[in-house]
Amino acid sequence: MGDCLCKIPQLKLMENAKILVAIPYHRAKEYALDHLLERVEQLSYKNIQVVMRWDLAEYGGENNVKKQREFFRQMVLNDPSFTHLYFFGVDTIPPADVLERLLAHDKDIVGGVYWGRHDTNNGKVDGAVAWIHEMSLDRQREAFLERNKLMVVDGMGMDCVLFSRKVLEKISWLSWEQNDDDYPYYDKAKEEGFLCYLDTNIQCRHYFNEDGCSYLAEVVKR
């Protein structure tokens, strides 16, 4: 799977797609709030509803993030006008045209690249928050920096990813025990026959404080 790289198809917007742009928020990410709000205003795809939901519990508490994501899933399922759910991480800032570009691939699960932010203020950047089990970390790093690639991956973080309604109808974030919101969801998606795609031309800024972020690729406009 790891070496299955496909050319990005000719971009063609899906007609009548309505997206819930979901922003799970916690005060621990307050430092990035200005960046987030600025980008939300700049999003160029307009058939959207943007909802930010505050988590007042302890940051990282058991199942808190899963419950946040499930809340947004239920919002989509309870409104037949929504065709997609896009998760927008507070500290993860995508290009302004991210929604058009993800929609254009016409995939049930597709996301953009963002890089680990731990120890970034010391000049170090973790690998991308995405994974391919059968590919070495060094090769993954190279692959996630390549231009114009639509890549099949085993999973990715949840801070820049678009889900179709079809996926949401099949899988709940409350359908497993472990306190993890991403790995199990993608594993269950694969069990249901869905593939997970990563667009390496969509590179996000991942903020670790008000002014600093991890950003490795100059492959897209800011």
Q: Which residues contact 130 (CB under 8 A, 6 or more apart)?
A: 111, 113, 140, 144, 153, 155, 156, 157, 198
Domain span at 25: 5-112+150-199
Residue 38 has what pLDDT? 95
Digitized pLDDT (tens) for each residue of the chain, 222 residues in all: 443 444 444 344 566 899 999 999 888 888 889 999 999 999 999 999 999 998 776 656 667 888 889 999 999 999 999 999 999 999 999 999 999 999 999 999 999 998 875 544 444 456 678 889 988 888 888 888 887 789 999 999 999 999 999 999 999 888 777 776 677 899 999 999 999 999 999 999 888 777 666 555 443 333
| pLDDT for the residue 143 | 87
Question: Smallest Cα–Cα separation from 204: which of 83, 105, 116?
Answer: 116
Domain-embedded: residue 121: no
Q: What is the pLDDT of residue 120?
A: 44
Residues near 56 by beta carbon (within 8 Å), at least 6 away in sequence: none
User: Is 179 inside a domain boundary?
Assistant: yes
Inside any domain, residue 175 = yes
Cα 71 to Cα 75: distance, rounded to the nearest angstrom: 6
The total number of structural domains that make up the chain: 1
Query: Does residue 189 form part of some domain?
Result: yes
Please report whether residue 54 resides in a domain: yes
Structural domain contains residue 56: yes
User: Is 190 a domain residue?
Assistant: yes
For 197, the 3-state DSSP assignment is: strand
- Residue 215's pLDDT is what? 59
Would 214 be classed as within a structural domain? no
Max alpha carbon distance in the chain (Å)? 47
H or E element that contains 110: strand 109-113
CATH at 107? 3.90.550.40
Tell me the two tokens of residue 108. Answer: 């049930």
